[in-house]
Amino acid sequence: MKRFAALLETLVLTPSRNAKIQAMARYFQTTPDPDRGFALAAITRDLTLSNLKAGALRQLAMERVDPDLFLMSYDYVGDLAETISLIWPHPAEGHGGEHLPGVADFIAGIESRPKSDVAAHLATLLDSASPSERWAMIKLATGGLRVGVSARLAKTALAAYGGQDLAEIEKIWHGLAAPYTGLFAWLDGRAAAPHIQPGRIFHPMMLSNPIDESRDFDRLVASDYQAEWKWDGIRVQLVFDGESRRIFSRTGDDISAAFPDLAVALDGHAVLDGELLVGHDFRPLAFNSLQQRLNRKIPAKTHLRDLPAFVRVYDMLFDGDEDLRDLPLISRRQRLEGWMRRHEGNRLDLSEILSFENWTDLARLRIQGTEIHGYEGLMIKDRQSLYVAGRPKGPWFKWKRDSRMIDTIMMYAQRGHGRRSSFYSDFTFGIWRGNEIVPVGKAYSGFTDDELRELDKWVRNNTTNRFGPVLEVEKRLVVELAFDSAHDSPRHKSGIALRFPRISRIRWDKAAGEADTIETVRALVE
C-alpha cells in the first residue's frame, strides 16, 4: 500500500505527462502481481468495489473527530477521501504503515467482509496509515480515483514499460480484466500477447476534431472527403454475435440495460459505430427526450413505448470476426451498406452521405441543416482514413452549428471539486420573465483561471443568502452564455434548458436590466 500511495501522490503532484508515464512504468516494474494489476484497474477507473458507501465513511469520520469540525472541513475541501485522510487522528509515534496490506489484499479485505464490519476494518487500517496512505485506501474502497491520468495515458505507460506499440495494447484492452496477469506476462516477455476475440469486445472509438474554418478548408481537397449530418444523440458502439448483444458508450460503459428495446433487435455478428437516438420511424426527437432514458438504468414502460431507441449507423469495425479497421473508410462504407441490406431491421438506420461539389456547397448544406432542420452540424471524413482509436489530427472533422449566445444574470454559486474545491466555480444563471429572474441553466466552464478568481471574489463579496453549500448572490452580474441549443424542460422554473452551456464572457459592463428575456430564449427552443 505504501508503494501505491507514493505512486498516486506522484501522479497528483506531477504536471509533466512524461514524468507521469515514467512513474507508472517504474511502479509496474517494481510491484508484483496481482497488486500492480489492481492498481492499474484503479487508475483507469475499471475497478468497482461495492461494500463501502460514502455515508458509512462520513459516519465513521464523525465518530473519530468533532462532527461540526468534519462537516466544515468537508465543505471547504470538497472531497470526502481527502477530508478524512487529513482530519483523521494521527497514529501514535512509531506506528506507521509498514504493516498495511498490499493493494490486492486490501481489496479482498474490503469485499470479503459483511457490510456491517467493513467500516470498523477500514478504521483499523486508517489508524496505522499516513495521510497519503489513508487517501489511497479510501479512494480504492470508494472509487472515483482521479489523479490526472487518463486510461490512455496509463496504457501509454504500459507500452513504455513493456516496449510494445500502444495500438497493440488498445486492440486487446477491452478483452482483459483485472489483475491483468496475462497482460503483464506479455509485457514482461514471459508469454505471448493475450488471445481475445476482437469481434466480440468494445474497441476504443475514433474521434474527430473541430474544423478551423479560417485554415482547414484552404488545405483540404473537397473531393477527398465525404460528409454526413451530425446528430444530437450519444455515440455508441454495438457489439453483437447472436448470443451476446451489448451497447457501449464512447467511454466503454455497457449501457445495454438502459436500452433493451435496441439490444434485442440486433441481429447477426458485427461491431458497428453510430449515434443512438430516440424517436419513431427513424425521426429523432430532441436530446432532452433521449436524456429521459439516459437518466435511468432500467427504462419505464412508457419510455419504451413513447421514446423507442434506434441507432443511425455510420461505420463498421468488424464484419463477423473480420477486422475492417485497417481498410479505408470508403471500403468500410461499402461493407456496411452490404451488411445493412442483409440485416434489415427496425432499429438500425444507415447514415446518409451528402452530395456536394466544393466547400461552398457544403457550407450551404450546413446552414440549411442547422437553421432549418435543427441538425447539430456536419461530420467531414477523409474517404481513405483508417479507423484509428483516439483523436488523430486530419482524417475526421466536426463542423458544428454556430453557438447561440444569451446574456444571463448570475443567481447562485457553489464550490467546485478537485483543484477548484476552494473556489466558487459552479454557477446558476437566470433570465428575465416579466419582473422576476428565473433559472435557465448552470455553467462551470469557459473561463480562465484569472476569471475564476475574479468570479470567486465577486461571489464572496456579493452573497445575500446561504442554502447549505449554495450561495445566493446579488442579481446584478451579467454573464454571456454560449450554448448549442435550447429545449423545453420542466427542470428549470423558466421551462427551458440549455444544451452544453458555458461561459463566453463576463459582462462587467452590462446592467442586469440588459439581460435577455424568456421571450428571446423561447424563440430559440427547438
CA gap 32, 36 in Å, rounded: 6
Q: List the grid coordinates of 237.
A: 458502439
Any bridge partners for residue 467, and if so which? 470
CA gap 381, 330 in Å, rounded: 10
Nearest Cα neighbor of 269 from 330, 327, 201, 173 is 201
CA gap 65, 341 in Å, rounded: 67
Q: Do the strands 234-240 and 309-319 form a parallel or antiparallel pair, or are they unpaired?
A: unpaired
Whether 493 sits among the annotated catalytic residues: the reply is no
Residue 375, SS3 per DSSP: coil
Contact 104, 35 (CB under 8 A): yes
Choice among 171, 230, 381, 400 that is catalytic: 230
Q: Do the strands 396-400 and 209-210 form a parallel or antiparallel pair, or are they unpaired?
A: parallel
Contact 428, 439 (CB under 8 A): yes
Q: Which helix (H) or strand (E) holds 441?
A: strand 436-443
What does the angle CA 355 – CA 356 – CA 359 come to, to the nearest 5 degrees?
150
Angle between helices 131-142 and 115-127 (to 10 degrees): 160
**Contacting residues for 313 by C-beta, under 8 A, at least 6 apart:** 238, 272, 273, 274, 336, 340, 348, 349, 350, 351
**One-letter amino acid of 307:** L
Nearest Cα neighbor of 147 from 414, 411, 479, 419 is 419
CA gap 406, 418 in Å, rounded: 29
Nearest Cα neighbor of 226 from 309, 148, 337 is 337
CA gap 499, 288 in Å, rounded: 9
* Cα–Cα separations (whole angstroms), residue 437 to 463, 499, 506, 516: 17, 20, 18, 10
DSSP string, 213-252: TTTHHHHS-GGGEEEEEEPSSEEEEEEE-SS-EEEEETTS
- Return the active site residues: 230
